[in-house]
Structure 1
Amino acid sequence: MDRRSLIKHAGVAGVLSAGVAPAVHAQAAVRWRMASSFPKTLPTIYGSAEKFAETVKAISGGKFEVSVHAAGELVPAFGVVDALQDNTIEMAQTAPYYFTGKDAIFAFGCAVPFGLTARHMDAWMEHGNGRKLLDAFYAKYNIVSMSAGNTGTQMGGWYRKEIKTVADLKGLKMRLGGGLFGEAMAKLGVVAQNMPAGEVYQALEKGTLDATEFVGPFDDEKLGFSRVAPYYYYPGWWEGGAELEFFINKKAFDALSAENKAIVRAAGAVAARDMTAKYDAQNPGALKRLVAGGTKLKPFSKELMDAGFKASMQVFAEHEAKSPEFKKIHEDMRAFQRDQILWSKFSEWRYDSYIANAKV
């Protein structure tokens, strides 16, 4: 009996017991390179890329390996989309809103002002229209996407001086990661600057920056921002749940076997869940340490939040007027958000607010 006939008559269990290796083991080895937009010093974000590579290797039995390279090793932090488009690398791990200079639509793959929370983003991307709409857009750049994890709602950043009113934002030189919130902050008088995380500390120390936002307590503590900017504000209304993405070169992905495509998807799911869980586990302790060390933790005033909301809605309207595709994606996201908020009112919000006031 030949191999094909054996598989047909014996089934998977019979094939395994007969010692005939499944097709996946007979495939040629696959070697990919992944360029991250983040430094190795951040075990949360960069750790997601490492978790992906570890999982791919483990599932494939070493037949499929992905080497992970920190920002600047293969390509600059903000050069990964160009590298994917040019077929220079097979994969990247990044924050899509870094590339709104190419097209504002990139922001929807990560975070927009007053946008989705982590759970809402996950639901929209995987069971709403989010992934479908964004992959149709990313196809222009030779990209297929998968979640690399979500930071959850971020902090509002570090400031060298206290921010009491909207007037205090005028002329403030602030590092903003990218995306539409830079445009919204500009309407409030902020001079937005985009730079890799590794360059921010020195800029704050030298006074070439007055403020920075990054992620939250765990990452911010590692980057040392509290030593040069004592005021720590919340919430980061521009990042209700920032999604990091695995961008995959479409030609490289299409060339994979069905088994290897399944491995990539499975490894992505493992890495994404790990990142989000890691942030939730590590942020509380880091926040306690920062406050104990002298960090001045302050909420944004309602005046500032209202001003940010108004500016953000103006930015969305401006982009909708220029791009029907932007308008389509934005309207879809907002419709999904409205339903998610409705459900949250009867579930987690009510529950969390009770628990927060109860003695547990």
Structure 2
Amino acid sequence: MDRRHFFKRATTAGIGAAAATALAAPAIAQEQPKITWRMTSSFPKSLDIIFGAGNELAQIVRDATDGNFNIQTYAAGELVPGLQAADAVANGTVEMAHTCSYYYIGQDPAFALGTAIPFGLNARMTNAWFANGGNDLINEFLAPRGLYALPAGNSGTQMGGWFRKEIVTIDDLKGLKMRIAGLAGQVMTKVGVTPQQIAGGDVYAALEKGTIDATEFVGPYDDQKLGFVKVAKYYYYPAWWEGGPAMHAFFNLEKFNALPKSYQAILKTACASANTSMLANYDANNAVALRKLVAEGAVLKPFSKEIMETCYKAAMEVYAGLSEKSPAFKKIYDHQQAFKKDSYLWAQVAEYSYDTFMMMQQRNGAL
């Protein structure tokens, strides 16, 4: 090949490569457009594990897109009230929210099944159910409301709450004013409790003044920071109404569907990470906080078998009534119930046996 012919071919190849680069650049730009979304949380910044899961989600998305997809996070009340977060997403005020679906049972009781119902699934079972058809049913229910949801957190089984007096029998619950919401409130009503809806920031003062006699909240880590032990020393367990309460990232369905597929995939990965880390953080911090609470005067008490069985019966009556009124509730509840039966069949064979043995070693000081 002579020298002139070589340079001619090299120049042509260079032009072709430059053209290819020019064509590729717009395509890449289209795949990763610059987008800014707002995410409103139902939680205050003081609940750093729950609120922090939303921040983690946003940071993962930001990092994975080199900052092209930026999600700005806002605490409850900064943009909209915490219990209106999903409504703000549905009407397009914000693009997404980090919230609990059971806050919206006033619209349909089926919303409760996306978070937790009394005597429902524990955290591990909840995640398994979501991954095996449960979350598809939740999204089928949400779609007509313009919403799409991905699991983005779980606190694990919560504590049964703080009481100003000992609760020994079912009669001790009668006449109590308790800060408790959702379907748990409906169950408690059947056994004589008067449920109260009080914002988290106002609970301490209500207990201190005697406006309420008891409150449920989350668990030791959050409860210790809120100081409930100073005004109600009896700390009961477990929260049979929240065996594994899930939080979701709620998206405006139209806006989610309009995202590039790569962004949708990144959001799903980010939500899965937040879902895992929240439970891990509570598991890591609750034991330490529980020791502190006992040192500060908390008196740990289990709910009696009588109370548990009476409330279980009341819950089944509530579900029977809701299944008659809400086809959506019945469809999702029946699916969850069938899943729960198999889950507990398996759990008692290996998991329960192993955990029980290890707890005995812990109690015997052998760990």
Q: Are 2:165 and 1:168 equivalent residues in the alignment?
A: no
Query: Gaps (5+ residues) in structure 2?
Result: 1-15
> What residue number does 1:12 align with?
none
- Matched ranges for 1:92-107 at <5 A: 92-107=97-112
What is aligned with 1:348? 351
The answer to whether the Cα contact below 8 Å between 1:84 and 1:141 also exists between their aligned partners in 2 is no
The yes-or-no answer on 1:133 pairing with 2:117 is no
- In structure 1, the residue matched to 2:149 is 145
SS at structure 1 position matched to 2:60: helix
Following TM superposition, by how much is the alpha carbon of 1:4 offset from its aligned partner in structure 2, in angstroms? 9.4
- Amino acid in structure 1 at the alignment position of 2:155: T
Q: Which residue does 1:260 correspond to in 2?
A: 263
Letter in 1 for 2:266: I
Whether 1:296 aligns to 2:311 is no
Question: By how many angstroms is 1:81 displaced?
Answer: 2.1
Asked if 2 retains the 8 angstrom alpha-carbon contact of 1:150 and 1:244, the reply is yes
Distance change (3 Å), C-alpha of 1:59 and 1:226: same
SS of the equivalent of 1:346 reads coil
Deviation at 1:323, TM superposition (A): 2.0
Q: Secondary structure at the match of 1:65?
A: strand
1: CA distance, partners of 2:277 / 2:26: 31
**For this pair of structures, how many residues does the alignment match?**
348
Partner of 2:196: 193
**Structure 1 residues 48-67: Cα deviation after superposition (integer angstroms, max 9, x where no partner):** 11111111111111111111
The residue aligned with 2:12 is none
Instruction: Report the Cα offset of residue 305 of structure 1.
Output: 0.2
Give CA deviations for 1:96-155 in whole Å, capped at 9, x if unaligned: 1111111100000000011001010000001x2211111011112211101111111111
Matched, 1:202 2:211: no
Q: Distance in 2 between matches of 1:4 and 1:316?
A: 65
Q: Which has the larger radius of gyration?
A: 2
The corresponding residue for 1:236 is: 239
Q: 1:24 to 1:150 in 2, by over 3 A?
A: farther
TM-score by length of 2: 0.91
Residue from 256, 276, 279 that aligns with 2:279: 276
Task: For residues 260-284 of structure 1, give each alpha carbon's deviation from its aligned partner in whole angstroms, at most 9, with x where no partner exists.
Answer: 1111111111111110100000000
Using the TM superposition, give the Cα deviation of residue 311 of structure 1 relative to its aligned residue in structure 2, in angstroms: 0.5
Distance 2:21 2:59 in 1: 33
Aligned residue for 2:120?
A: 115
| Distance in 1, Cα, partners of 2:22 & 2:121 | 47
Of 22, 37, 42, which aligns to 1:32?
37
* In structure 2, C-alpha distance between the alignment counterparts of 1:226 and 1:59, rounded to whole Å: 42
Q: Which segments of 5 or more consecutive residues in structure 1 lack a partner in the other structure?
A: 9-14
How big is the shift at 1:324? 2.3
One-letter amino acid of the structure 2 residue matched with residue 172 of structure 1 = L
CA deviation after TM superposition for structure 1 residue 327, in Å: 1.2
Aligned residue identity for 2:46: T
**Quick one: distance in 2 between partners of 1:293 and 1:129?**
44
What is the percent sequence identity of the aligned residues?
48
